[in-house]
Amino acid sequence: MSVSGQILDIDLTTETWKLSENPEDLAGEYFGGRGLNVKLLYDQIPPGTDPLGPQNILTLSCGMLTGTAAPASSRLHINALSPLTGILGGSNVGGGFGISLRMGDIQQLVIRGRASRPVYIWIDGDSIEIRNAKSLWGKDTWETEDLLKNRLGTEKLNILAIGPGGENGCSFGCIITERDHAAGRTGMGTVMGSKKLKAIVIKTQRPQAAFRPKNNTHEAIKRYLWQMQYSPEFKSMKAHGGAGYVDWADELGILGTRNYRDYHFEAARRIDGKHLKENITRKHGCPRCPVQCKADLKFSTGRLKGKKAVRPEFEPMLALGAKCGLNDLQTLVYLDNLCTRLGLDSISAGTVIAFAMDLFDRGILTTSDTGGLDLNWGNGEAMEMLIRQMADCKGFGRILAKGVRRAAQIIGRGAERYAAHIKGLEMAGYHPYNMMGTALGYSVSSRGADFSDIYATLEYKWLPEKATKVFGTPVSSDPRSIQGKAELVRRSMIVGSVLDCLGLCKVPALCLICTYDLVSEAELVSALSGRAVSITELFMAGERIVNLERLFNLQHGAGISDDRLPDMFFEKEYNAGIEPSKPAEWMEPMKQEFYKIMGWDDTGQPTAEKLAELGLARPQCAAQPAA
């Protein structure tokens, strides 16, 4: 297995494919994963491209360390022009698929065009085929995986599949592998559906040697493992996964509740995932990861009695729970699993349902609008019906399936005032008012209002002494302070992009280890890739990728007016009764400082000097951002 691997380029329109070597200089500048993807999309997707048209490109890339002996290194990054946001779409997934791709010496899989019928891609070493998937079309993601394994006569397969949501054009269709690993955000499953691509199947390859290790390989691996396993949260994360942090978020005052009307939920403790401990039948997770944060569940009573179930992740617990006012834990698990089977991003699904419930509570929507559905807070039966309607793009769910931004425009009657999105992406679960770094990160993230793109955990995990040393002020680690947040978000953004290029999971790196210095990551790359890579090189690559993503979004119509929280968060009601505020009082100062330290001008465009420093050419047709 080579360091840079090969590029497999498939055209579904012509049903042809080709393999080519990944240029070494490209691997040196972008490493893999997210970096390789954005470089390809920036070079090859012109402004005006239809995200659901055959000209859109879906690209999947392993990180540089994916498939090596590095701990928690199974990640695969997926990008395309997003049908939900109209700008850069991206999602990241674990499990064994990326490793199998890499074991076949494929670094990047590029998918173009549109098939004339439903198909799946079959990869078995050098054998690559585009096969008929008509009998799979309409099946959910779990059924699809089972049917393919039965049809192909082996369990030794890694499968990426979409459900009815992606097939029918729900704007936030996702991609599922191994039942509960999701490439969830920005509608990458919908792009697959638009291409009539039901699944990608890889026959598991025999493991090969992971590059050419140096003598210090084992020491670098052992140090990284030690940092994970002796972190304060390791035992809790291993026992409960992200599901066990609902009550914690409530105590911190950041639990987005009832469409963000509040940041506390009276039933937070009741729906915390720690209560699922007695229902666990098997713990599992990604290969080579000591955390093993996944779990299969079994219930002895209720609607899930005798049925297969998996434990939700942290964000779905918030999106389908507190955000919708749902206080029943088993119903929450059921709805999360339903989203997974139907191939819907559970964060977007929960957020758009919470939006509809907010409108219903205000009388903006009535049962005459919803087809008779009672959208009172916490109505699990109505939530289930909306999820099924969104996947089928039928009934009132057909409107919500377009995402909260477009749904608000269609509904009208002042609905846009209550639509929680940034750049068209539904907001993650943290309420931004008590988390200034998260609020800024939501606003400037390249894919929209998403925590994992920025992952600013250091704003509530670092001690003031460390914050002073790194950011120059102790209050940068005070979530309520706006001081030092621009530099904090810059570092979080760059480090996050590097991890996505290396194929390392952010949960152990940024939740557990939480150093944000890339020291251990540089050691791992140097030990496992056969070439010395410095911390400075990694930071430079991360900054290059962040700026290229910014250029991509500018070319596709995003600008400074999109780097903002929704107006609702400056109103008294959505600040839990605190007096209303203005963007100029706290958001704008952070944003302008962020632009400055990024080397961008006051309209949010990278300067010529910054682009030259990063080896990037200034685009000839960058969109002019709105003032």
Question: Where among 203, 226, 242 does a domain terminate?
Answer: 203
Q: Is the pLDDT of residue 213 over 60?
A: no
Report d(CA 235, CA 233) in Å as an integer: 6
pLDDT digits (tens, 9 = 90+) for 489-540: 999 999 999 999 999 999 999 999 999 999 999 999 999 988 899 999 999 9
Give the pair of three-digit tokens for residue 252: 């911190």
Q: Does some domain include residue 217? A: no
* From 63-67, 100-104, 290-294, 527-531, the region with the lowest mean pLDDT: 527-531
Q: Are 123 and 272 in the same domain? A: no
> What pLDDT was estimated at residue 529?
87
> What pLDDT was estimated at residue 622?
46
Q: Does some domain include residue 226? A: no
Q: Does some domain include residue 280? A: yes
> What pLDDT was estimated at residue 626?
37
For the four alpha carbons of 432, 426, 198 and 321, in that order, the dihedral sign comes to positive
Cβ-proximal residues to 514 (8 Å cutoff; 6+ apart), any chain: 231, 457, 458, 461, 462
Report d(CA 171, CA 391) in Å as an integer: 10
> What pLDDT was estimated at residue 619?
67
Report d(CA 469, CA 123) in Å as an integer: 50
Q: Are 340 and 175 in contact (CB under 8 A)?
A: no
Average pLDDT of span 281-306: 96
The pTM assigned to this predicted structure is 0.96
Residue in the block written with tokens 């993503």: 549
Residue 157: strand pairing partners: 203
Q: Are 183 and 325 in the same domain? A: no
Q: Does some domain include residue 14? A: yes
Average pLDDT of span 283-305: 96
DSSP class of residue 617 equals P
Q: What is the chain's mean pLDDT, rounded?
A: 94
Which spans in 482-532 are helix H? 485-502, 506, 519-529
Which spans in 241-366 are helix H? 246-252, 314-320, 329-342, 346-362
Q: Are 531 and 581 in the same domain? A: yes
Report d(CA 209, CA 432) in Å as an integer: 45
On the 0-12 / 13-18 / 19+ scale of CB atoms within 10 A, 468 is middle
Q: Are strands 280-284 and 294-297 parallel, antiparallel or unpaired?
A: antiparallel
Return the SS3 of 439: helix
Per the structure, how many domains does the chain have? 3
Best CA proximity match to 538, nearest among 510, 554, 519: 519
pLDDT digits (tens, 9 = 90+) for 417-454: 999 999 999 999 999 989 999 999 999 999 999 888 89
Average pLDDT of span 381-396: 98
Average pLDDT of span 266-272: 98
pLDDT digits (tens, 9 = 90+) for 339-368: 999 999 999 999 999 999 999 999 999 999
Report d(CA 29, CA 608) in Å as an integer: 19
Average pLDDT of span 233-244: 97
Q: Does some domain include residue 438? A: yes
Question: Where among 419, 448, 473 does a domain terminate?
Answer: 419
Report d(CA 571, CA 580) in Å as an integer: 5
Q: Which CATH number characterizes residue 340's domain?
A: 1.10.569.10
Q: Are 75 and 98 in contact (CB under 8 A)?
A: yes
Q: Is the pLDDT of residue 188 over 70?
A: yes
Q: Does some domain include residue 429? A: no
Backbone φ and ψ for 280, nearest 5 degrees, come out as -75, 130
Best CA proximity match to 266, nearest among 251, 276, 277: 251
Question: Where among 419, 443, 467 does a domain terminate?
Answer: 419
> What pLDDT was estimated at residue 178?
97
Q: Does some domain include residue 127? A: yes
**Cβ count near 289 (within 10 Å):** 21
CB crowding 516-536: b at 16 or more within 10 Å, else e: bebebbbbbbbbbbeeebeee
Average pLDDT of span 53-78: 97
> What pLDDT was estimated at residue 625?
38
Domain membership of residue 157 as a residue range? 6-203
Backbone φ and ψ for 110, nearest 5 degrees, come out as -115, 125
Backbone φ and ψ for 245, nearest 5 degrees, come out as -120, 15
Which spans in 45-187 are helix H? 97-103, 141-152, 164-168
Q: Which CATH number characterizes residue 47's domain?
A: 3.60.9.10
Report d(CA 336, CA 349) in Å as an integer: 10
Q: Are 408 and 461 in the same domain? A: no
pLDDT above 90 coverage of the chain, percent: 89
Q: Is the pLDDT of residue 272 over 80?
A: yes
> What pLDDT was estimated at residue 627?
33
Give the pair of three-digit tokens for residue 488: 């904090």
